[in-house]
Structure 1
Amino acid sequence: MTPARPRLLELRAARVRYGPLEALHGVSLAAPAPGLTVLLGRNGSGRTTALRALAGAVPLSGGAVVWDGADVTRLRAHERARRGLCFVPDRQAVFGTLTVRENLELAHARGDVTAALEAYPELRPLLARRAGTLSGGEQRMLALSRALLSAARAVLADEPTQGMSPAVASRTYALLGGLDACVVLAEQRLPPGLRARAGRAVVVYELRRGEVVFRGEAAEHATRPNDPVGPVSPPAP
């Protein structure tokens, strides 16, 4: 029997331009499903652009986006969403004029918000509030709750715990790490809680100036010297 091909969400030699500036210089990465992948880097490193490229929120000027072996480069963001991809950007991730309950009901086919309130009971007393009036951390909880309710095949989240208390952030990473989905997070630093997940390796890519400078498991990254390094592979001649 032929073994099943691994399910992956990939960038292959991806290039992204913002006007005259190139933000990604041929970046390749592969995020397994189910599994947790973290894109690390400082502001301007390309981590957010890589996440947006996977989501279809920015077009590629070169390379490809491949999902489970199919080239989806030309699929727009809403078409990827229909196929089960949920993107949680770092800003404007909720419908601000709708209530918390309405935001949650939109994410579930039958409007059942139970799972969201079990994950984030802090949202229960806020159900009647307009989402735009919530604090930053509350909006992140709401946005991630919508991702949980949608039963997405791939969840992409940019700094998912921004504004959350340490306890809620820890719970959030546990929730994301336990999903039966391809989960890709963009973070400035590797959170301690992501350095090990029960029985499942956390894949890490570190980007710097639009190039991958590290790829490996979270445990390897945690012990890596904090030295300036170049790309993990030299550019093609």
Structure 2
Amino acid sequence: MTATLQLRHARVRYGPLEALHGITLAAAGPGLTVLLGRNGSGRTTALRALAGTVPLSGGAVVWDGVDVTRVPAFERARRGLCLVPERRAVFGSLTVRENLELAAPAYDSALAAYPQLEPLLARRAGTLSGGEQRMLALSRALLARARVVLVDEPAQGMSPTVAARTYELLGSLDACVVMAEQRLPPVPHGRPALVYELRRGAVVFGGEAGEFQGRQAADRRRRRPGPSPSG
């Protein structure tokens, strides 16, 4: 796999607190990369650093071999990067139709991906439920045909059926897809997938999804209590 987007020894500070402690990771395209971690682990900050919405205090962001650390977020978007943040991912004062039309004049493919949006086209996006807003935000990302798609918790607020559809859609994109998640989502069969686990702003695991799943299974076996001694 060819690395498309990288963080190299990246550091991010929020005032006196350092959120990323010199992490290095690479996301390949087309393919799926998952940034795993609990709240406060740094996964969302890493996603924002890749998008350019938070500045680095050290290290670099490299895209297709070119240092883009000082390239602003709007210019990265112009070059084909699409960020779907966890919050405020849609224009709440606009209707669903207007949100879609901002991404592409023809949005039939978005409604094919999420038919639940069709009866909501005249509704203002700010009145939708959390799951409906996620569908709308992801529909806009699908319409953008971006080279890089960065998504923070894509299935948040969705029903299990819609969440499964969402992971299927993201896994089938001909793009470099990076997701920030608390747990490993379903990985499409036959698609390359990388996993980076973050804890307290540092990478504690980096490798193939199958390797991560194997490590999890081994940890569960080690924690399983043995047979109690017979009296």
TM class by smaller structure: over 0.9
Q: Root-mean-square deviation (CA), in Å?
A: 1.2
Structure 1 residue aligned with 2:212: 221
TM-score (norm 2): 0.92
Structure 1 residue aligned with 2:138: 144
2:162 matches 1:168:
yes
Q: Deviations over 1:180-228 (max 9, x none)?
A: 000000001112x22xx2322210000001000001111111121449x
- For structure 1, list consecutive stretches of 5 or more residues without a partner in the other structure: 228-237
Matched position secondary structure for 1:189? coil
| Number of positions where the alignment pairs a residue of Structure 1 with one of Structure 2 | 218
- For structure 2, list consecutive stretches of 5 or more residues without a partner in the other structure: 221-231
Measure the CA separation in 1 of the matches of 2:180 and 2:103.
Answer: 22
Structure 2 residue aligned with 1:233: none
* Identity among equivalent pairs (%): 75
Measure the CA separation in 2 of the matches of 1:7 and 1:118.
Answer: 31
Structure with a larger share of its residues in helix? 2
Match for 1:219: what amino acid? G
Structure 2 residue aligned with 1:102: 98
Match for 2:90: what amino acid? V
Structure 1 residue aligned with 2:26: 30
User: For residues 1-237 of structure 1, what are the structure 2 equivalents within 5 Å?
Assistant: 6-108=2-104, 111-191=105-185, 193-194=186-187, 197-225=188-216, 226=219
TM-score (norm 1): 0.90
Measure the CA separation in 2 of the matches of 1:201 and 1:88.
Answer: 21
Measure the CA separation in 1 of the matches of 2:118 and 2:192.
Answer: 33
Which 4+ stretches in 1 moved above 6 angstroms? Answer: none
